[in-house]
Chains A and B, each alone.
Chain A
Amino acid sequence: MAFLTDRKRAVGMGSAKSGTHHHWQMMVTSVALLVLIPLFVFTFGTILGAPYAEVIAYYQRPFPAVVAILTMLVGFFHFRLGVQTVIEDYVHGFARKAAIIFMICLSYAAAGFAVFAIIRIAL
């Protein structure tokens, strides 16, 4: 045991197990979204309300399509992290686990459908 540092013995022993990983992911996605959100608002906002053919042509351009894909991926991953924290604060017992699993699946499904749709339009 003398070879183990105090830190090494403590790692993974807390109630959260994974330590600061959730918070770190939150920070990384926050920084990414600070760039992506303005880009998405002003690309998606520009084309929302346009006729079908114009929308399809717009999202066949690489920049609006990639911005939309990244925003959906990072945005829903950020949401999945945030909503888990909220559920952990307000929901208890079995309902907590059920709610977290449901919201994680919903977030990934939403991102999956969005990315598939944008790629299908773009290609």
Chain B
Amino acid sequence: MRCRAGQCAPLKGTTMADVNRGNRPLSPHLTIYRPQWTSITSILVRITGNALLVAGLLIVWWFVAAATGPAAFALADGVLTSWFGKLVMLGSIWALWYHSLGGLRHLVWDSGRMLDVASSERAGQAMVALSVVLTIITVIIL
């Protein structure tokens, strides 16, 4: 820090807060760990939750189109029931069940249960298996 007449400025090539910025050892990050059931199933909860925005907005469009009239509905309904729309909906059904099971796991954790590694791993495996089963059941029913 260099000060003159009450005005202070950081030294050249440094910032005020930390002169060693960018030159410190970093803690290990994602790339260094072997994938685990706990980490992967947790990351997937986040990905599925955000990806569901696509289906969510498509469904909003479908409702707005239905409220607008037959012509607008025909377009939105055509997109949602096209092969691409069906693919998005199929993926979203799995994402929805998976994310719901992930939320259920969080509620169980919040109650103080199943917090040990073995239970968490088993819950993760159950989420993957159950989400696939629920998706198949949904496709059969609908």
Residues of A within 8 A of B (CB): 27, 30-31, 33-34, 37, 41-42, 44-46, 48-49, 52, 55-56, 59, 68, 72, 75-76, 79, 82-83, 86, 110, 113-114, 116-118, 120-121
A83 x B81 contact (CB < 8 A): no
26 cross-chain CB contacts under 8 A? A30-B107, A33-B100, A34-B103, A37-B96, A41-B138, A41-B142, A42-B141, A48-B77, A48-B81, A49-B81, A52-B66, A52-B73, A72-B59, A72-B60, A72-B63, A79-B49, A79-B53, A86-B46, A110-B57, A116-B64, A117-B60, A117-B66, A117-B67, A118-B63, A120-B67, A121-B66
* Chain B residue at minimum C-beta to C-beta distance from A72: B60
Tell me which residues across on chain B come within 8 A of A118, comparing CB atoms: 63, 67
Tell yes or no: B22 within 8 A of A by CB.
Answer: no
The A interface is mostly helix, strand or loop, or mixed, namely helix
- Which residues from chain B sit less than 8 Å from chain A, CB to CB? 46, 49-50, 52-53, 56-57, 59-60, 62-64, 66-67, 70, 73-74, 77, 80-81, 89, 93, 96, 100, 103-104, 106-107, 110, 138, 141-142
A82 CA to B63 CA, complexed, in Å = 24
Q: Which residue of B lies closest to A59 (CB)?
A: B66
Q: How far is the CB of B92 from chain A (nearest CB, A)?
A: 10
Q: Determine whether the beta carbon of B59 is less than 8 Å from that of A27.
A: no
User: Assuming A37-B96, A41-B93, A117-B64, is B74 touching A52 (CB within 8 A)?
Assistant: yes
* Contact across chains for B141 and A114 when beta carbons are under 8 A apart: no
CA distance A121 to B52 in the complex (A): 24
In the bound complex, do residue B103 and residue A56 qualify as a contact, i.e. CB atoms below 8 Å apart?
no
| Cα A83 to Cα B93 with chains together (Å) | 19
Beta-carbon contact of A114 and B110 below 8 Å: no
